[in-house]
A and B are shown apart, each in its own frame.
Chain A
Amino acid sequence: MDLTFTPEEQAFREEVRAFVREKLPAALRHKVVNSLRLTRDDHVMWQRTLHERGWGGPGWPKEHGGPGWNAVQQYIFEEECASAGAPRLIPFGIKMVAPVIMAFGSPEQQKRFLPDISSARKWWCQGYSEPGSGSDLASLKTRAVRGLDKDGDHFIVNGQKTWTTLGQHADWIFCLVRTDPQAKAQRGISFLLIDMKSPGITVRPIITLDGAHEVNEVWFENVRVPAENLIGEENKGWTYAKFLLGHERSNIAGIGISKREIERLKRVAATEKKNGKPLLEDSLFSAKIAQIEVDLMALEMTNLRVLSDEANEKAPGPAASILKIKGTEIQQAITELLVAAVGPYALPYKAESESDEEGDIGPRYAAGLGAHYCNMRKLSIFGGSNEIQKNIISQQLLGL
């Protein structure tokens, strides 16, 4: 048993740290560490920076233009980026559709789509959820009918997707569509790549409780999709979807983000005063921070054990669910304490949380906190709600 990282892993950590320190613009870092809203350009700029270093697809094998890192290296990379205040990588292209294209796409599809993903030339979004489906993903209704005409082999897609994160920026969407309505729920589903500029697609914003436009509804009305955009085989989409969901779990615990957020919480609590003394010295408040820190230590250790099991090709068990539940609980708990730390100054609402310029109400660091707390409520809902994760754990444990 050895809990330390190898000298090679330590050296790799230093390399990533130095790179991020040199390349991450201070203004962008400021936005990230203060939960201010990032623009499309912010994300694209950072993705391109990584791409130029050959790190655009951190989880990708070398044959597809990735750095070929193992799970531990990927973990270290993500942790370093997060603690340094780099924007999170938008996962839809890099972590979701790309692994599916690598595993099940044709060589033509790999050549056509992958380079544009790691270089951020194309922005991808996800078309899984539908109104009424929620965690019951296989109940999806969006219909794709295959046909052949003078313009060739194609699908006609009709239906509606929802909760499409940052879909307003997207060039492409990967969709689960029902191609055989007669088959049992999971059997008649296909995996389609759809150009967002196709006629018949409408994107409508959903405004969330923090007042932000982050998610969308995407409507398909007789959208024509060339059959060459089908991944793998028709009606086998559920297999690819499940493969994708398995990939989603890298960095699911958000250890690096939580470490950064705890530092921020301590900075805020050291500045805020209670009875004329720093809030950080208030025993009740500091005990709450300490509780989160020890929970995070345990989670980090659990995460490392999972990584080590993966490296030794041991079956992971319900690890992803454990990491998701505890990781999101910790992140949410930190946002609660951040709000408590600034008290009533968490309440002034900044439209879109875009800036924290001087002259605003309350301390600068308070500007994005209330909206951030509200926004982070999504963590225990999306990606399979925490209730669903507990069902997964109990099903595996009980086997009933």
Chain B
Amino acid sequence: MDFSFSEEQQQLQDAIARFVQGDYSFERRHKILKSADGWSREVWQGLADLGVLAMNIPEADGGLGYGPIEALLAMQSAGPAMLCEPLLDSAVIATALVRDFGSPEQRAELLPAMGSGERIVVLAHTEAAGRGQAVWVETSAKKSGDGYVLSGHKAVVSLAPAADELLVSARVSGQPGDAEGVAVFRVAKDASGLALKPFKTLDGRRAADVVLADVKVPASSLLGAPTVSANVAIDRALDLGLAAVCAEALGVMEATVNATIEYLKTRQQFGQPIGRFQALQHRTADMLLHLEQSRSMAYLAAMHCNVADDTQRRKTLSAAKVVIGNACRFIGQQAVQLHGGMGMTEELNVSHFFKRLMAIELSFGDTDTHLQRFAALTQRDIPLAA
């Protein structure tokens, strides 16, 4: 067993950490969030120059061909900066989907452009009634002439306003909740019938509800590699995203715990640093327990997100999301509490950590959803009668 990272991995981690420390200060992020777009193309290009956007692209497609461990390191290092650019959405999830499920032509057209930062692609998949279950797709795709007509409503699609094009999942057959019958389509942002209702989320990012009212797309927009089903491809891309968001959460939680420890050492009350009070010491110790358990699960998730055995992979990722979801809530809430009134203010980073952790907990299926999925998957392992 070896939990150390290679020199190359270490360098990647350091490069991103340096980049966000240098180019993504709290003030810079604040300014970017207040701008009309709410994200920065300049930062995006900076990330491209670092190679981060090409990390999940195979070398054959002009990328770096890294694996999930490198994604973990990148997301963890970027975590404390709480990037409002679509790193997770485009460079991890959409890239994985195009890579694993695109035709050779689609790969050739999209992957180099995504890796270089020229083209931003976001998967519009989640629907309100799905509550984080990947199979829940009500959006329909009906064959029409030599193309398809898409109708439906995608909920709270993170960073959709930043995208040049969307990958939209839609049902070609079956009912919502069915494990098969879904396809993925490339949809240009200016497609007729496509409406984005953009908004800010609590953590300051941009998202949109995506409404498809009879959007006509040509057959060539259908993503497809003949060997995998779209459901499996989406599931795997979302699992990579889940592992990546767990890594991001780890980075945010590390920063949150550090900021809290610093505050406990400096804030004086009743004539001493408040960190001298045992009640607060024990609370901080509990935060650290959550953090280390989360680190373990983030590693485990990264190591499992490419496992071919669906049950094994889903079980592990759900377990990671449960442990990390609970930790996000505990660490976020306690950091605010231990900062007292100051923790409630917009002025301190800790309140922004709190909101990002809250958003992460609610994304990719919340804690309850994954606890139930884990229970369903593990209870199958046990013989019910002796």
Contact A284 B371 (CB under 8 A): yes
Which candidate, A109-117, A235-243, A314-322, A341-349, is the interface stretch facing chain B? Answer: A341-349
- Checking B203, B209, B269, B368 against A285 with a beta-carbon cut-off of 8 angstroms, the contacting residue is B368
Contact A377 B344 (CB under 8 A): yes
Chain B residues whose C-beta falls within 8 Å of the C-beta of A361 in the assembled complex: 156, 197, 199, 209
Could you tell me the distance in whole angstroms from the C-beta of A32 to the nearest C-beta in chain B?
21
Q: How far is the CA of A376 from the CA of B350 in the complex (A)?
A: 16
Tell me the B264-316 residues at the A interface (CB within 8 Å).
Answer: 268-270, 277, 279-280
Q: How far is the CA of A114 from the CA of B231 in the complex (A)?
A: 69
B176 contacts A by Cβ under 8 Å: yes
Contact B280 A387 (CB under 8 A): yes
Contact B362 A344 (CB under 8 A): yes
Contact B362 A385 (CB under 8 A): no
Chain B residues whose C-beta falls within 8 Å of the C-beta of A308 in the assembled complex: none
Could you tell me the distance in whole angstroms from the C-beta of B285 to the nearest C-beta in chain A?
15
Q: Which residue of A lies closest to B352 (CB)?
A: A209
Contact B279 A387 (CB under 8 A): yes
Q: How far is the CA of A387 from the CA of B177 in the complex (A)?
A: 46
Q: Tell me which of B128, B203, B372 has the highest count of chain A C-beta atoms within 10 A of its own C-beta.
A: B128
Tell me the B343-384 residues at the A interface (CB within 8 Å).
Answer: 343-347, 351-352, 354-355, 358-359, 362-363, 366, 368, 371-372
Tell me the A204-225 residues at the B interface (CB within 8 Å).
Answer: 206-211, 215
Q: Would A344 and B337 be within 8 Å (CB), given that A207-B345, A209-B355, A370-B202 are in contact? A: no
A163 contacts B by Cβ under 8 Å: yes
Q: How far is the CA of A315 from the CA of B346 in the complex (A)?
A: 42
B201 contacts A by Cβ under 8 Å: yes
- Checking B128, B200, B329, B340 against A381 with a beta-carbon cut-off of 8 angstroms, the contacting residue is B340
Chain B residues whose C-beta falls within 8 Å of the C-beta of A343 in the assembled complex: 128, 131-132, 362, 366
- Checking A139, A345, A377 against B128 with a beta-carbon cut-off of 8 angstroms, the contacting residue is A345
Chain A residues whose C-beta falls within 8 Å of the C-beta of B204 in the assembled complex: 349
Contact A347 B340 (CB under 8 A): no
Contact A284 B200 (CB under 8 A): no
Chain B residues whose C-beta falls within 8 Å of the C-beta of A284 in the assembled complex: 368, 371-372
Chain B residues whose C-beta falls within 8 Å of the C-beta of A209 in the assembled complex: 336, 343-346, 351-352, 354-355
- Checking A340, A345, A347, A391 against B203 with a beta-carbon cut-off of 8 angstroms, the contacting residue is A347
A162 contacts B by Cβ under 8 Å: yes
Q: Would A347 and B207 be within 8 Å (CB), given that A129-B341, A208-B346 are in contact? A: yes
Contact A344 B341 (CB under 8 A): no
Contact A134 B200 (CB under 8 A): no
Contact B362 A346 (CB under 8 A): yes
Chain A residues whose C-beta falls within 8 Å of the C-beta of B333 in the assembled complex: 377
Q: How far is the CA of A208 from the CA of B344 in the complex (A)?
A: 5
Could you tell me the distance in whole angstroms from the C-beta of B249 to the nearest C-beta in chain A?
15
Chain A residues whose C-beta falls within 8 Å of the C-beta of B133 in the assembled complex: 275
Q: How far is the CA of A285 from the CA of B372 in the complex (A)?
A: 11
Tell me the B176-231 residues at the A interface (CB within 8 Å).
Answer: 176-177, 197, 199-204, 207, 209
Q: Which residue of B lies closest to A207 (CB)?
A: B346
Q: Which residue of A lies closest to B269 (CB)?
A: A136
A132 contacts B by Cβ under 8 Å: yes
Contact B200 A349 (CB under 8 A): yes
Q: Would A134 and B201 be within 8 Å (CB), given that A276-B176, A387-B279 are in contact? A: no
Chain A residues whose C-beta falls within 8 Å of the C-beta of B279 in the assembled complex: 387, 390-391
Tell me the B228-282 residues at the A interface (CB within 8 Å).
Answer: 268-270, 277, 279-280
Chain B residues whose C-beta falls within 8 Å of the C-beta of A377 in the assembled complex: 333, 336-337, 343-344, 354
Chain B residues whose C-beta falls within 8 Å of the C-beta of A339 in the assembled complex: 358, 362
Grouping DSSP codes into helix (H, G, I), strand (E, B) and loop, the B interface class, with mixed when no group exceeds half, is mixed
Q: How far is the CA of A26 from the CA of B37 in the complex (A)?
A: 38
Contact B269 A348 (CB under 8 A): no
B155 contacts A by Cβ under 8 Å: yes
- Checking A207, A275, A345, A374 against B177 with a beta-carbon cut-off of 8 angstroms, the contacting residue is A275
Q: Mark A376-400, 1 if CB is under 8 A from B, else 0.
A: 0110111001110011000000000
Contact B155 A385 (CB under 8 A): no
Could you tell me the distance in whole angstroms from the C-beta of A204 to the nearest C-beta in chain B?
12
Chain B residues whose C-beta falls within 8 Å of the C-beta of A285 in the assembled complex: 368
B76 contacts A by Cβ under 8 Å: no
Could you tell me the distance in whole angstroms from the C-beta of B315 to the nearest C-beta in chain A?
18
Tell me the A118-154 residues at the B interface (CB within 8 Å).
Answer: 129, 132-136, 139
- Checking A276, A374, A386 against B355 with a beta-carbon cut-off of 8 angstroms, the contacting residue is A374
Q: How far is the CA of A282 from the CA of B155 in the complex (A)?
A: 22
Chain A residues whose C-beta falls within 8 Å of the C-beta of B368 in the assembled complex: 282, 284-285, 340
Contact A135 B280 (CB under 8 A): no
Contact A362 B128 (CB under 8 A): yes
Contact B131 A380 (CB under 8 A): no
Q: How far is the CA of A206 from the CA of B344 in the complex (A)?
A: 10
Tell me the A271-295 residues at the B interface (CB within 8 Å).
Answer: 273-276, 282, 284-285
Q: Which residue of B lies closest to A210 (CB)?
A: B202
Contact B269 A380 (CB under 8 A): no
Contact B337 A381 (CB under 8 A): yes
Q: How far is the CA of A381 from the CA of B333 in the complex (A)?
A: 11
Q: How far is the CA of A339 from the CA of B367 in the complex (A)?
A: 12
Q: How far is the CA of A340 from the CA of B358 in the complex (A)?
A: 10
Q: Mark A39-80, 1 if CB is under 8 A from B, else 0.
A: 000000000000000000000000000000000000000000
Could you tell me which A residues sit within 8 Å of B by CB distance?
129, 132-136, 139, 162-163, 206-211, 215, 273-276, 282, 284-285, 336, 339-340, 343-349, 361-362, 370-371, 373-374, 377-378, 380-382, 385-387, 390-391
For the complex of A and B, 7 pairs with smallest distance between CB atoms: A209-B351, A344-B156, A347-B201, A207-B346, A136-B269, A370-B202, A348-B199
Could you tell me which B residues sit within 8 Å of A by CB distance?
126, 128-129, 131-133, 155-156, 176-177, 197, 199-204, 207, 209, 268-270, 277, 279-280, 329, 333, 336-337, 340-341, 343-347, 351-352, 354-355, 358-359, 362-363, 366, 368, 371-372
13 interchain pairs (CB within 8 A)? Answer: A133-B269, A209-B336, A276-B177, A339-B358, A340-B366, A343-B366, A349-B202, A362-B209, A377-B336, A377-B343, A377-B344, A386-B337, A387-B337
List 13 other contacts, CB 8 Å, given A285-B368, A346-B202: A134-B269, A136-B269, A163-B341, A215-B344, A344-B362, A346-B362, A348-B201, A374-B355, A374-B358, A378-B344, A385-B337, A385-B340, A387-B277
